[in-house]
Amino acid sequence: MERHYGWVMVAAGAVISCVAFGAMFALPVYLQPIADETGWSRAGISGAMTLGFITLGVGGFGWGALSDRIGARPVVLIAAAMTFAGLALASTAQNLLLFQLAFGGLLGLAIGAFMAPIMASTIAWFDKNRALAISLVSLGGGVAPMVMTPLTTVLIQSMGWRSAMLTVAIAAAIIIFPAALLIRSAPTAAEPATSPTAPAAAKASFLPPAARKALRSPQFLVLAGVFFLCCGAHSGPIFHTVSYAMICGATPILAAGIYSLEGVAGLFGRVGFGMLADRIGVRPVIVGGLALQAIGIFSYIYVTEVAHFYLLALVLGLVYGGVMPLYSVLARDYFPGHVMGTVLGAMTMTSSIGMAFGPVGGGWLYDTFGTYHWLYIASAAVGLGAALLALVFPPPSRPETGEAGMTPQAA
């Protein structure tokens, strides 16, 4: 069992991410019922999601660093309690500000605690099949909208949005708490003793010297830069393509199907790109995927028919869904396990900032020029910049076969 426990970690991580991210990303389903009952503005209700992205990104860095100190399991258990509290408080909120703070602030902060600690803990179990394992963990987040959104819709129709949200809160706690107990640290060699001459302040620092050194390294700066540009490139097209398709004559149902197809394609992309990266290496797969992403985004300016929108959605879903988990795998090639929580948390924050630029930037370009073409041109340029920057990935700072002293027990 010990030899294959990494796959138990993969399953636990996928389940946790599916439930947690699904609970947060179901907010669009609540939008109409909340507005009808409370009279709150749609912009105000949607603001909870904006706040959620901010707290998710900033919190991801803090939670990742904390997991390096106390382990992933305690962090995930704390986050599970916060997930329940955020949803439960939001379900009883009688004013918009409290709803935003509960759903966007508390829940968003909790969601930020799941990805980096779980990824960092899981990746330490694998020397082989590392890219596939991380891709499968991320599969939970990809499945989330397909599972949680329909379920939430049924609950809202049968019991109203408040009871539905409270039910989701209880269900999330029932599922996440036991799954979190399955999270274990991989057996490793003992960490080198801290130098007796090290200052006491450095020992007590939230970010120890090794973590600070990692965040200042060329490897991290290039990796974070590529991740930022990658997310900045595809977030605008993801957010605005449904509107663009409707402008081109697609019905609302067909236009919404574009977004759904991207999500489904992303599931296959995660598995396919993960297996390919294990065979030929992570870096060439990332570079190739980023280049294909830029070409696909640029192609939107020539698209006017629904069938072509669906074809591009299939390609782009495969590409960005497949590339995204690989940044964590590459980070493990660069950095030792005892700082992975900090590194992945900082990457989560970087990617969240990149994701935030696309929707607002695309809206500004459309309002200014009256067309979405400039969004796709700008996004493709950003995506091409990501591919070019990926070409200068520095060599690993240690052998790619695993950290010295790490038990090669994983499959």
pLDDT tens readout for residues 187-200? 764 444 444 444 44
SS (H, E, C) 199-251: CHHHHHCCCCHHHHHHHHCHHHHHHHHHHHHHHHHHHHHHHHHHHHHHHCCCC
Q: What pLDDT, in 10s, does the model give residues 75-134? A: 999 999 999 999 999 999 999 999 999 998 999 999 988 888 888 888 888 888 888 888
Name the CATH architecture for the domain at 5-180: Up-down Bundle (1.20)
Q: Residue 241: what pLDDT? A: 81
Contact 236, 361 (CB under 8 A): yes
Label residue 147 by pLDDT band (50, 70, 90). Answer: confident
Q: Residue 397: what pLDDT? A: 54
Q: Which of 95-99, 217-221, 326-330, 405-409 has the lowest mean pLDDT?
A: 405-409
Could you tell me where the beta strands, DSSP code E, fall in 75-143? none
Please state, in angstroms and rounded to a whole number, the distance separating the CA atoms of residues 124 and 402.
Answer: 9
Q: Which residue has the higher pLDDT, 51 or 383?
A: 383
Q: Which residue do the tokens 């991989």 mark? A: 186
Q: Residue 185: what pLDDT? A: 83
The residues, any chain, with a CB within 8 Å of residue 259's CB and separated by 6 or more, are: 238, 241, 242, 313
Q: Residue 406: what pLDDT? A: 39
Q: Residue 205: what pLDDT? A: 61
Please state, in angstroms and rounded to a whole number, the distance separating the CA atoms of residues 66 and 295.
Answer: 39
- Name the residue type at position 10: V
Q: Residue 150: what pLDDT? A: 79
5-180 against 207-390: fold identical: yes
What fold characterizes domain 207-390?
Growth Hormone; Chain: A; (1.20.1250)
Q: Residue 388 burial (CB < 10 Å; 0-12/13-18/19+)?
A: middle
Q: What pLDDT, in 10s, does the model give residues 330-348? A: 998 889 888 988 998 899 8
Contact 132, 271 (CB under 8 A): yes
Query: What mean pLDDT comes out for the span 236-258?
Result: 81
Please state, in angstroms and rounded to a whole number, the distance separating the CA atoms of residues 144 and 149.
Answer: 8
Mean pLDDT of the chain: 84
The residues spanned by each domain of the chain are 5-180, 207-390
How does DSSP assign 39-63, residue by residue?
A: ---HHHHHHHHHHHHHHHHHHHHHH
Q: Residue 175 burial (CB < 10 Å; 0-12/13-18/19+)?
A: middle
Please state, in angstroms and rounded to a whole number, the distance separating the CA atoms of residues 55 and 107.
Answer: 9
Closest CA to 25 of 44, 47, 45, 49: 49
Query: What mean pLDDT comes out for the span 170-177?
Result: 95
Q: What pLDDT, in 10s, does the model give residues 385-407? A: 999 999 998 877 544 444 433 33
Exposure letters 199-232 (e unless 16+ CB within 10 A, then b): eeeeeeeebbebbeebbebebbebbbbbbbbbbb
Q: What pLDDT, in 10s, does the model give residues 15-71? A: 998 899 889 888 877 878 888 899 988 778 877 877 888 888 888 888 988 988 898
